[in-house]
Each structure stands twice: as structure tokens, then as C-alpha cells.
Structure 1
Amino acid sequence: MNTPKILLLVLIVISLTIIFTLVLQPQTMLFGEEYDVRVINSFRGNSSVPLVIWCNSPQGDMGGRALQEGDDFGWTAKMELWSWRQVYTCTMKWESKRKRFEAFKVSRDSNRCGITKKCSWSVREDGFYFSSDEVYWTKDFSWS
């Protein structure tokens, strides 16, 4: 087989792969995947002191909230093609404690958020817990 025929065959294979991907997963290729991110105030018996949260996205300031016990702050993170460096950060403040953390990081969370694409954080007195189903929680880090 000569070189032009090999190149033509490679181009056909690449073209068919792109076409099949667009047909089978159009939201991924054309518009990016969407992840539901949620930060929950999971303190117990602490209704007088709110958890203050302030978040930033790759597009800018997302604003802040004062979360009472059981309240949450959530958003949809839309990932564009080639967005492995995108990070959504939040700063948390509770009493004298303050912590800045990556609430959603594409390179870390795109797989661990599971097929439901749900990424939840439970903020507790002893630290920050992650879950992709809000049933099983894993402590990722402490306040300090």
C-alpha cells in the first residue's frame, strides 16, 4: 500500500470516529459535560452561627451565602472540550475557622463524580466530606 492510500484510510477512520462520537454523545462533544456541584452545611446543633461560603468559577465571581444548618449552595459546572484545568474554588468561614478549597476541579472530579455527574460536599465541624451520591461520604480534608 502506498503512502497516499494509507493517509486516506487514516483520515476516513478519524472522520468516522468523530461522526460516531457526535451521534452517540452529542452533549459531550458539542456542548461539554455538566456536573451538579453542591456544598451543604452539615453542622449539628449550630443554628446560631452560619457557615459563610463565597465561590469563584473560571468565568468569575459566583457570589456568597450565609448557610444555616442544612442549607446548601449549588451550581452547574459546564465543562467545555479541553477544559482539564478548570477549577471552581470556594472560601468557607465558620466561627474563627477559614478554609479555601477546590469545590470542583475537572482533572480530579470528572471521574469521581460518577455517572450521575453529582459532586457534593458536606461541611462538618471536623472537615469536608465528598460524595457522588449523598449516601456514602468520604472525608477529603480537615479545616486546618
Structure 2
Amino acid sequence: MNRKQLISLIILLFLAVFIILLSFSPPGQEYLVLSGMEYDVRVINGFTDNSSLPLVIWCSSEYSDLGGRALQERDDFSWRLKTDFWGNPNFVCTMKWDQKRKRFDAFKVQRDVRRCGPLRKCSWLVTENGFFFSSDEVNWKKDFSWP
């Protein structure tokens, strides 16, 4: 066996061991396999009548601050992110409407790598009745209510 074949064999063995180790990762740790994937996150103001009172949103991760916006009816706040090997980034948004305030995970790697679907689209519709999630912006599921 020549040197080039030996190096190729070592690389193949290393990759095989790495894949085997990943297959034994605990449930919820699938993000290790999906690092480097891009996701689109969108938060939509779904209020029916808040023309005089906007929905205020401020989002950030442990590495970046996306800033804040005042969203009128049907306005949205969106961004694209890329996951890494360590399960980052996780984005948290604070929503304020009138006297109500809610902080929520707009994108959490462990929760959303599967939930955002094959298109890797993670959408939130915020209404008077709560926060709804969708991976296709057709089928919405209520995740939680305002406090």
C-alpha cells in the first residue's frame, strides 16, 4: 500500500467513526448533523386592527443584535441565519403590544431544525390571540398566548 492509499484509508476510517458517533447522539441533538444549513425566519404582524398601535419587535442572538422595528398591520421582520456545529445561533425576540410584552425563541436550533421543514422556513404570525408557527405560511399552529 502506498502513502496516498494509506492517507485515503485513514480519512475514510475517520469519517466512518465520525458518522457512527453522530448516529448515537442523544435525541434533540440532530443539529450536529445539520450544521451549516441556512434558515429563513419571518415574524409577521397579524393583528386585524392596530393601525394606531404598532407591534414592536426586537430580536437578537448570542452573536448578533438585529435591532428593533415597529410593525404595522401585515408588516414583517425577517432574516436569514446559518447554523453551526455547536447548535448556534438561537434567536430571541421581545414583542411589545400596548401594555403586553412577550419574549420568545424565534429560532431555536434544537427545536427548529426539523420543524421548519424541507424549505427551512420558520414563520411566526403574531395576533391578538397569540403566536402561531408555520413552515409553509399556509398551515399555522398556535404555540403560545400573550401573558
On whether the aligned pair clears a TM of 0.5, the verdict is yes
Q: Which amino acid is 2:146 matched to?
A: W
2:57 corresponds to: 53
The yes-or-no answer on 1:88 pairing with 2:91 is: yes
Q: Deviations over 1:51-83 (max 9, x none)?
A: 000011221311000000000000012101232
1:126 corresponds to: 129
Q: Distance in 1 between matches of 2:94 and 2:50?
A: 19
1:75 corresponds to: 79
Match of 1:98 among 91, 101, 121: 101
Identity of aligned pairs, percent? 59
Tell me, what secondary structure is at the counterpart of 1:48? coil
Shift of 1:103: 0.3
Shift of 1:12: 3.2
- TM-score, normalised relative to structure 1: 0.79
Identify the range of structure 1 (38-47 vs 85-94) with the bigger mean alpha-carbon deviation.
85-94
For structure 1, the 5+ residue unaligned runs are 1-8, 19-27
**Contact 2:45/2:75 (<8 A) preserved:** yes
The yes-or-no answer on 1:41 pairing with 2:64 is: no
Match of 1:138 among 120, 126, 141: 141
1:23 corresponds to: none
Shift of 1:48: 1.2
Moved over 2 A (4+): 9-18
Q: Distance in 1 between matches of 2:15 and 2:69?
A: 47
**Contact 2:42/2:79 (<8 A) preserved:** yes
Q: Distance in 2 between matches of 1:140 and 1:115?
A: 20
Q: Distance in 1 between matches of 2:59 and 2:83?
A: 17
Shift of 1:13: 4.3
Higher strand share: 1
Q: Distance in 1 between matches of 2:15 and 2:129?
A: 52
Q: Distance in 2 between matches of 1:81 and 1:39?
A: 25
RMSD after superposition: 2.5
